[in-house]
């Protein structure tokens, strides 16, 4: 999910962005027992930081932060976790 494509390329509304975040989370959460997934949200200040979009970003992030099964982190932390916990395991 990338704000450039969502807002620029597809003309998504703020309300649509919040719903998209919720739908994406719900689907990934359903698949979590069988698949390890990352919900990447590509954000660019010149797109998402427009004042009329800020409240929708806040709503979307609040929704994600309220979920008990979410790890809000950085790409560096994901890479470190993989290296320390997964990388040396034999393939299944």
The whole-number pLDDT of residue 80 equals: 93
Q: How far apart are CA 38 and CA 75, in angstroms?
A: 10
The whole-number pLDDT of residue 1 equals: 83
The whole-number pLDDT of residue 15 equals: 94
Structural domain contains residue 92: no
The whole-number pLDDT of residue 63 equals: 97
User: pLDDT under 50 in the chain at which residues?
Assistant: none
Structural domain contains residue 80: yes
The whole-number pLDDT of residue 92 equals: 60
Total domains present in the chain: 1
Q: Which tokens hold the place of 74?
A: 């950085």
Q: Burial of 3 by CB count in 10 Å (0-12 exposed, 13-18 middle, 19+ buried)?
A: buried
Q: How far apart are CA 71 and CA 47, in angstroms?
A: 25
- List the one residue out of 73, 60, 70 whose CA is nearest residue 15: 60
Q: How remote is the C-alpha of 81 from its chain's centroid?
A: 18
Structural domain contains residue 90: no
Structural domain contains residue 16: yes
Structural domain contains residue 91: no
Task: Identify the domain containing residue 41 by its residue range.
Answer: 3-85
The whole-number pLDDT of residue 91 equals: 64
Structural domain contains residue 24: yes
């Amino acid at each position: 999910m990338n704000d450039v494509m969502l807002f620029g390329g597809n003309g998504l509304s703020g309300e649509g962005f919040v719903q998209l975040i919720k739908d994406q989370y719900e689907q990934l959460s359903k698949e979590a027992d069988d698949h390890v997934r990352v919900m990447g949200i590509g954000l660019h200040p010149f797109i998402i930081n427009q004042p009329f979009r800020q409240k929708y970003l806040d709503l979307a992030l609040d929704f994600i932060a309220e979920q008990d099964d979410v790890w809000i982190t950085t790409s560096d932390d994901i890479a470190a976790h993989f290296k320390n916990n997964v990388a040396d395991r034999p393939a299944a």
